[in-house]
Homo-oligomer: A and B are copies of this chain.
Amino acid sequence: MAKAVEQVNWNDQGLVPAIAQDWRSGEVLMLAWMNREALELTLREGRAVYWSRSRGALWRKGESSGHVQHLKELRLDCDADTVLMKVEQVGDIACHTGRRSCFYQRREAGEWRAVEPVLKDPDSIYPGKA
């Protein structure tokens, strides 16, 4: 594991962007960030673990919501500063808004329009936050 992780070009904050893509549909689900420890845990646990920049803490995707992302494949880009995960998205919901993908806003007629349905009420995803 160490060898692959060594070859990643971390930015000056020790992070890289990590894209999660549905391994079957190819839909881009989200982009979050990883530090070295998050990537190592992702590989060790076989599920997406990010670094939450807002909380300054490791973020095991799905730890509150249950919407875990099981890692199917890991890719690295040509300059080694972005990783792409092909994942199996538990619950088919990646977004905290209850939508499948975080990229649910599409530009139409000069404005952002929410074009993806809410599959689950966020209050029922995060009951402790209500």
Contacts and interface: CB of A to CB of B under 8 A. Distances in A.
Contacts of A4: 107, 110-112
A106 B7 CA distance: 13
B3 A74 contact: no
Contacts of A21: 28
B17 A74 contact: no
Interface string A54-82: 00000000000000000001111111101
A44 B94 CA distance: 31
Please give the count of copies of this chain that the complex contains: 2
A30 B19 CA distance: 10
Contacts of A7: 112
Interface centre among A28, A78, A80, A110 (most CB of B within 10 A): A78
B28 A27 contact: no
B30 A74 contact: no
B102 A78 contact: yes
Interface of A: 1, 3-4, 7, 17, 19, 21, 25-28, 30-31, 43, 73-80, 82, 84, 95-97, 99, 102-107, 110-112
> Closest 10 CB pairs between A and B?
A26-B26, A75-B103, A77-B102, A74-B107, A76-B105, A31-B82, A78-B102, A84-B103, A77-B103, A17-B17
